[in-house]
Structure 1
Amino acid sequence: MPENLDSDLNTESGKQVRQIKKKVLILGEGGVGKTTLLYRYVNKVFLDSTKMTIGSDFFVKKLKTIDEQYENRLTLLLWDFAGQERFRFILKDYTKGAEGVILVFDLVRYNTLQKLFNWIDILKEGGVWGNPDVKFYLVGSKRDLVPGNEQAIPTDIIEDFKKEFNIDSYFETSARDGTGIEDLFRTVAKSLIAQEDQK
């Protein structure tokens, strides 16, 4: 089991070093919090306001995990795509080479879950959806807004969505307080390294 996530990359484990780069797409409607989620993960801070992403943005996160055989030095190339419809024409060009896809919706805006159907259609067109070499993760954002909120999406609706699209990995996150973000990306890192082991 991987350990020592976020450790100093210069530490020597005495094991063979394996350099791994993985491209991960982060998709979802505008305003669901994709950029703030990534900013919280990469920079450990909450951005109270962000400018609308134009086209795409790009984050890099370097991790180290040690398993029985390797010291894995994993570079996550995190592509943050604009949620606005007018930018989607570029998406198919960027999907090539992706080995992970994070689908994000807002836990208190039902339409953002419904609109993931459109994103999945784009992934199908790009040959990504249904590809056994690509890992998929569903993320409900803004968990901090759920308690007592009548707009919160019922759990059974989220469960139905997961079953319909056969998505096992589901996380609820909050960029504001950090809930679930480390768990999400720890799972992403572990599954992408396991994917490398199977090659």
Structure 2
Amino acid sequence: MNNNNGNFIKICVCGEGGVGKTSFLNRVINNVFDEEAELTKGVEFFNKKIQMSHHGKVYDLIFWDFGGQDRFRKLLLNFVDGSSVAVFLFDMTRFSTLDKLEEWMSILFESGNIPLLILGAKEDQVDEKGKASFTEMLETITDSNDQVFGHLLISNKTGFNIDKALDMIIEKLNDS
């Protein structure tokens, strides 16, 4: 497992403002959804202890939740180094947030070969045709970029695919 200090594993969570990064982490860590979640200013930290079967140790996953506004983007360049995995979230109800993926990827990959998981949030607010369209786009992105190890549509509100997203992150860490 690369880029961890002791039993701490750094995971960078990024994407545009208001896409659901903090809600995703609240669901992962506490299994709660807060309709009134505020935009992250700068960076916030979330911690989850896990036991990784392959390594047989307990690890602290330290999620770095980066504010998505332009003024905070420069922080990402300074703090992404040392991340074992990055997670990019976009809002499926605002296509423009997926358009920014390439910009975020260039920032992330400037710091090295950080494996990336792409999550489409607010799955519960999109019809089946929209879900199929996003899935097709994400498959193309995943197939064309070696650093992208997966994609998933999630709902922070209902909890849909949240455990699966965490499982994908853990599986990637186990492979490292």
Q: Name the TM-score, length of structure 1 as normaliser.
A: 0.78
- Give the Å deviation of 1:191: 1.8
Counterpart for residue 115 of structure 2: 135
- If each structure's helix is expressed as a fraction of its own residues, which one has the higher value? 2
Matched-pair contact (CA < 8 Å) for 2:138–2:151: no
- Given the alignment, which residue of 140, 162, 169 partners 2:150? 169
Counterpart for residue 49 of structure 1: 36
Counterpart for residue 64 of structure 2: 79
Counterpart for residue 162 of structure 2: 181
Q: Distance in 2 between matches of 1:97 and 1:31?
A: 25
How many residues end up aligned between the 2 structures?
Answer: 170
Matched-pair contact (CA < 8 Å) for 2:139–2:151: no
Counterpart of 1:170 in 2: which secondary structure?
Answer: strand
Matched-pair contact (CA < 8 Å) for 2:15–2:89: yes
Matched-pair contact (CA < 8 Å) for 1:108–1:149: no
Matched-pair contact (CA < 8 Å) for 2:9–2:84: yes
Q: Distance in 1 between matches of 2:61 and 2:23?
A: 17
- Give the Å deviation of 1:164: 3.2
Amino acid in the other structure paired with 1:51: E
Amino acid in the other structure paired with 2:122: K
1:74 to 1:151, Cα distance in 2 relative to 1, 3 A: closer
Amino acid in the other structure paired with 1:93: N
Cα RMSD of the aligned pairs, angstroms, is 2.1
Counterpart for residue 73 of structure 2: 88
Matched-pair contact (CA < 8 Å) for 1:20–1:73: yes
Counterpart for residue 106 of structure 2: 121
- Give the Å deviation of 1:84: 0.3
Counterpart for residue 10 of structure 2: 23
Q: Distance in 2 between matches of 1:151 and 1:74?
A: 34
- Give the Å deviation of 1:65: 3.4
Deviations 1:125-176 (A, max 9, x none): 3x23xx1xx3211111111111268698543333332233332311111110
What are the equivalent positions in structure 2 for 1:138-149 lying under 5 Å apart?
138-147=118-127
Q: Distance in 2 between matches of 1:150 and 1:89?
A: 32
Counterpart for residue 137 of structure 2: 157
Q: Distance in 2 between matches of 1:169 and 1:51?
A: 28
- Gaps in structure 2 of 5+ consecutive residues: 1-5
Q: Distance in 2 between matches of 1:149 and 1:35?
A: 27
1:191 and 2:176 matched:
no
Q: Could you list the structure 1 runs, at least 4 aligned residues long, displaced by more than 3 angstroms after superposition.
A: 148-155
1:148 to 1:136, Cα distance in 2 relative to 1, 3 A: closer
Q: Name the TM-score, length of structure 2 as normaliser.
A: 0.87
Counterpart of 1:98 in 2: which secondary structure?
Answer: coil
1:106 and 2:91 matched:
yes
Counterpart for residue 3 of structure 2: none
